[in-house]
């Protein structure tokens, strides 16, 4: 949640900043109005409560001094104030609910460094990287040349090699689910092990629960705004996580850390679940858009002064992994109109897929400032004893579906086999995928 003190002190500035995020000015004004009304109601409620307490004390004193008539009048006055108190408490509850309904879906204030824009068309490409040329600026980058055999979509290569079985995944679970088989399953496991080994020298490895409480989803901003995207287990009021960011953020919920403990760095592998509401027909073939996928996530708690350094550290971790895998990628600085709700600034990493001739997002690295920490009541005590909210930073390193899609296309050989990056050899037990003898095509289809 945004800091309401900033809104109270400088409403014009906040309205302007949120306007760059496509938030109507009237919505910001309404939030401020409700906040003002609520503070007045709370002040009046507290004043009456104090008066009732004072009258209660005075009744005893009056009776002890034999002034029974005055004691009766004080009791009557206290009862009248009690009725006013009930009304004010009801009003405060109503105002709190109305204010929070807006506050909880109001996006974070964008960083001054985030480019201004309306939507994804205004995102800014920062740089490119390719195995042939390394880092390149926007002006001097040329897409590597891909041979015809590398232009085959990954879903065709995966089926030919028997490592992707979408037909049976659909039979078991429905559309937009995947199944990895044989070397495909081993590749997925190898990528996860490689990523964790690369990250856990500096990040503590965590294996969090996959099902979380409603308040855990609220803490990151995934609820209430993105309820339609979440898989809910309604009977138990639990949610399947859309990303490990959700449980990792709540590791320290309602806790206070000492400044000397920060930054804290966490790395987690989990499956992730997203309904992908509204995605029908849009990049839904193969591994491009799935309801369930595997991902390694990095997340840090830090002080405000550490935020920028941690932000770029997580970005660097994700880039190093893509470079180790030998995939051409680009870094996008998301404009204000395309930022996620909780983010103040985000860099997306996109790999090039020659089989679909598209750039595919495989990581988002975000600086959330104190937005999530306010929702999670995640705080730290500075060296001078002051208590404030931590900053949170997170990024995918990496989401495997689209990474594997690009690897199967880039690494495809003229004979249909796939050569993987050398860095995977110790995990995969080699670097070449050939047609499996236990491919789905070789399994008898009895009906």
If asked whether residues 52 and 162 sit together in one domain, one would say: no
pLDDT tens column, 115-144: 999 999 999 999 999 999 998 889 889 999
pLDDT score of 370 more than 70? yes
Residue 436: its pLDDT value, please?
64
CATH of the domain at 347: 3.30.930.10
Specify whether 82 is located in the same domain as 126.
Answer: no
- For residue 115, being part of any structural domain is answered with no
State whether 100 and 161 are in the same domain.
no
Is 412 labelled a binding residue?
no
382 has binding-site annotation: no
Question: Does the N-terminal peptide bond of residue 398 adopt cis geometry, omega within 30 degrees of 0?
Answer: yes
361 is in an annotated binding site: yes
If asked whether residues 282 and 240 sit together in one domain, one would say yes
Give 299-319 pLDDT, tens digit per residue. 999 999 999 999 999 999 999
Domain assignment of residue 391, given as a range? 120-433
254 is in an annotated binding site: no
Instruction: Give the pLDDT confidence score for residue 435 in this predicted structure.
Output: 85
Residue 447 is assigned to a structural domain of this protein: no
Overall number of domains in the chain: 2
Q: Has residue 389 got a pLDDT over 60?
A: yes
Residue 277, number of CB atoms within 10 A of its CB: 11
Coil/strand/helix, residue 20: coil
Q: Is 72 annotated as a binding residue?
A: no
Q: Judge if 353 and 244 occupy the same domain.
A: yes
- Whether 201 has a binding-site annotation, put simply, is no
274 is in an annotated binding site: yes
Is 93 annotated in a binding site? The answer is: no
Residue 37 in this model has a pLDDT that exceeds 60:
yes
Task: With CA atoms as reference, report the closest residue to 181 among 151, 160, 203.
Answer: 160
Distance CA 31, CA 20 (A): 17
- For the chain, what is the mean pLDDT? 94
- Cα–Cα distance, 147 to 409 (Å, whole number): 10
Q: How many CB atoms are closer than 10 A to CB 406? A: 28
For 330, the token pair is 């680009």
Q: What is the CATH number of the domain that holds 55?
A: 1.10.287.40
* Per-residue pLDDT at 415 exceeds 70: yes
Q: Residue 250: pLDDT above 90? A: yes
Q: Are residues 149 and 67 in the same domain?
A: no
End-of-domain residue from the set 105, 133, 165: 105
400 in the same domain as 254? yes
- For the four alpha carbons of 208, 209, 212 and 215, in that order, the dihedral sign comes to negative
215 labelled ligand-binding: no
């Amino acid at each position: 949640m945004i800091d309401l003190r900033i809104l109270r002190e400088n409403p014009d500035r906040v309205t302007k900043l949120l306007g760059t995020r496509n938030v109507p000015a009237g919505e910001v004004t309404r939030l401020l109005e409700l906040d003002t009304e609520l503070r007045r109601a709370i002040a009046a409620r507290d004043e009456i409560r104090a008066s009732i307490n004072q009258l209660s004390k005075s009744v005893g004193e009056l009776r002890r001094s034999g002034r029974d008539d005055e004691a009766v009048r004080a009791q009557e006055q206290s009862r009248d104030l009690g009725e006013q108190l009930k009304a004010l408490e009801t009003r405060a509850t109503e105002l709190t609910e109305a204010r929070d309904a807006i506050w909880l879906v109001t996006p974070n204030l964008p960083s001054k460094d985030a480019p201004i824009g309306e939507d994804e068309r205004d995102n800014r490409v920062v740089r490119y990287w390719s195995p042939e040329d390394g880092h390149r600026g926007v002006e001097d980058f040329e897409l590597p040349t891909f041979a015809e055999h590398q232009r085959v979509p990954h879903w065709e290569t995966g089926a030919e090699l028997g490592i992707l079985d979408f037909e049976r995944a659909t039979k078991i679970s429905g559309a937009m689910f995947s199944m990895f088989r044989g070397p495909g399953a081993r590749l997925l496991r190898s990528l996860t092990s490689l990523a964790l080994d690369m990250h856990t020298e500096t990040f503590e490895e965590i294996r969090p629960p996959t099902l979380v409480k409603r308040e855990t989803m609220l803490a990151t901003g995934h609820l209430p705004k993105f309820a339609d995207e979440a898989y809910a287990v309604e009977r138990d009021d639990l949610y399947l996580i859309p990303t490990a960011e959700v449980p990792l953020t709540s590791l320290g919920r309602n806790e206070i850390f000492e400044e000397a403990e920060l930054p804290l760095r966490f790395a987690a592998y989990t499956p992730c679940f997203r309904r992908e509401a509204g995605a029908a027909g849009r990049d839904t073939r193969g591994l491009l858009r799935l309801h369930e996928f595997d991902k390694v996530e990095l997340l840090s708690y830090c002080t405000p002064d550490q935020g920028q350094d941690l932000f770029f550290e997580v970005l660097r971790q994700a880039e190093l992994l893509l470079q180790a895998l030998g995939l051409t990628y680009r870094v996008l600085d998301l404009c204000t109109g395309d930022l996620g709700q909780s983010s103040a600034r985000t860099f997306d990493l996109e790999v090039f897929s020659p089989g679909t001739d598209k750039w595919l997002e495989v990581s988002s690295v975000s600086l959330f400032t104190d937005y999530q920490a306010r929702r999670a009541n995640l705080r730290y005590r500075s060296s001078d004893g002051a208590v404030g909210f931590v900053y949170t930073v997170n990024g995918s390193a990496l989401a495997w579906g689209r990474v594997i899609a690009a690897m199967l296309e880039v690494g495809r050989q003229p004979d249909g086999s796939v050569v993987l990056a050398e860095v995977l050899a110790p995990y995969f037990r080699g670097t070449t995928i050939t047609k499996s003898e236990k491919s789905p095509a070789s399994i008898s289809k009895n009906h």
